[in-house]
Amino acid sequence: MLPRAYEGQDCSIAGALGVVGDRWTLLVLREAFLRNHRFEDMQRRLGVARNVLTDRLARLVEDGLLERVRYQERPERFEYRLTEKGLDLWPVIVALMQWGDRHRDDGRRPMVLYHRGCEGEVDDRRMCTACGAALNPGDVEAVRDGARRRAMAPA
Amino acid sequence: MLPRAYEGQDCSIAGALGVVGDRWTLLVLREAFLRNHRFEDMQRRLGVARNVLTDRLARLVEDGLLERVRYQERPERFEYRLTEKGLDLWPVIVALMQWGDRHRDDGRRPMVLYHRGCEGEVDDRRMCTACGAALNPGDVEAVRDGARRRAMAPA
């Protein structure tokens, strides 16, 4: 844990890490960006312990990055959707992915982000490599190993 | 810790978080970007336990993000400088800072990143708000609360 008081404390990087400075938290958010909004899907894909996932989801809701939305009445079922505050983390997630791609030992890119309907890719400033447009989450689809394209943004 | 095997494992986000998915690690890198290269300076500014800082620095050297450089011979003294791989994390750190700024309760920005010699600021795609240049770490200076400008990049 970070101490309450240190010289470099008045810092928005430290503030951000206080909210998302945990690997599971960012991977849960990754799943939300990939439209996997439901507990069971997230749990299966992440292989995370249920109590850990429950904890991270509750914190993300409390911190206002996800909202819990009912999608079924009987029995009641809920899913987790990104708020504006959560969507604002997209640049962090894209930057982490691009750094990870660049420094992989195998030189592969497990997932590629395309400008939807354009064939250009998302460059390191989140601009389209083909048309130059400044891209936002809703403009982009994530393609894994040539599989069916998936939106990298919530519906 | 992340498990060895999970469905979403083949992922550069998870790979990146395996290296930098720790708050202290990213704050140590922040210090290196702010030209605080020495153990004693980092320790004082971060208020981190010495053994924790020693551990994180050793890992960052092992992972190739920092290099240990001798700056004095008698007695021998070393400092920690960003490698290319470490410098490549700049977009992640800038994105975290901008998200933190945007969602602070007090609306302040503890530190502002300027395009050196231009007065423009670094926007959310790391372009200059004044001249539109695509900025890299060496082009930018970080100013804290109007204090003397500091480089946000290693010398």
Neighbours of B40 (CB within 10 A): 11
Instruction: Calculate helix-pair angle for A39-46, A23-33, nearest 10 degrees.
Output: 120
Q: Is B41 on the interface with A (CB under 8 A)?
A: no
**Contact status, residue B7 vs residue A45, Cβ threshold 8 Å:** yes
- Which residue, among B27, B35, B96, would best test binding to A if mutated, counting the most A CBs under 10 Å from its CB? B96
* B49/B43 Cα distance (integer angstroms): 7
Q: Is the pLDDT of residue B38 over 80?
A: yes
CB distance A8–B16 less than 8 Å?
no
Q: Are strands B140-144 and B150-151 parallel, antiparallel or unpaired?
A: antiparallel
DSSP 8-state secondary structure symbol assigned to residue A135 = P
* B48/B132 Cα distance (integer angstroms): 38
Tell me, what's the pLDDT at A8?
57
Element (H, E) at A16: helix A12-20
Q: Which residues contact A22 (CB under 8 A, 6 or more apart)?
A: A56, B21, B23
Q: Is the pLDDT of residue B121 over 70?
A: yes
Q: Is the pLDDT of residue A149 over 60?
A: no
The pLDDT of A14-35, averaged and rounded, is: 90
Looking at per-residue confidence, does B61 or A144 come out higher? B61
**Contact status, residue A61 vs residue A67, Cβ threshold 8 Å:** yes
- Return residues 57-96 of B near A (CB < 8 Å): 85, 88-89, 91-93, 95-96
Q: Using alpha carbons, list the distances in angstroms from residue A61 to A4, B102, B117, B131.
A: 23, 18, 42, 39
Q: Is B3 on the interface with A (CB under 8 A)?
A: yes
Residues from chain B contacting residue A100 (CB–CB below 8 Å) = 11-16
| pLDDT, tens only, B135-145 | 999 999 999 86
- Which residue, among B9, B12, B88, would best test binding to A if mutated, counting the most A CBs under 10 Å from its CB? B12
Tell me, what's the pLDDT at B144?
81
E strands, B84-145, in order: 111-115, 140-144
The mean pLDDT of chain B is 87
**Kindly report the CA angle at A35 between A33 and A39, in degrees rounded to 5?**
105
| pLDDT, tens only, A82-134 | 999 999 999 999 999 999 999 988 888 889 999 999 989 999 999 999 999 99
Of the ranges A44-53, A100-109, A141-150, B103-112, which one carries the lowest mean pLDDT score? Answer: A141-150
Q: Is A40 on the interface with B (CB under 8 A)?
A: no
What predicted TM-score, i.e. pTM, was given to this entire model? Answer: 0.88
- The torsion region of residue B53 among left (phi > 0), alpha (psi -120 to 50) and beta comes to alpha
Q: Is the pLDDT of residue B7 over 60?
A: no
Nearest to B112, CA basis, from B76, B67, B55, B152: B152
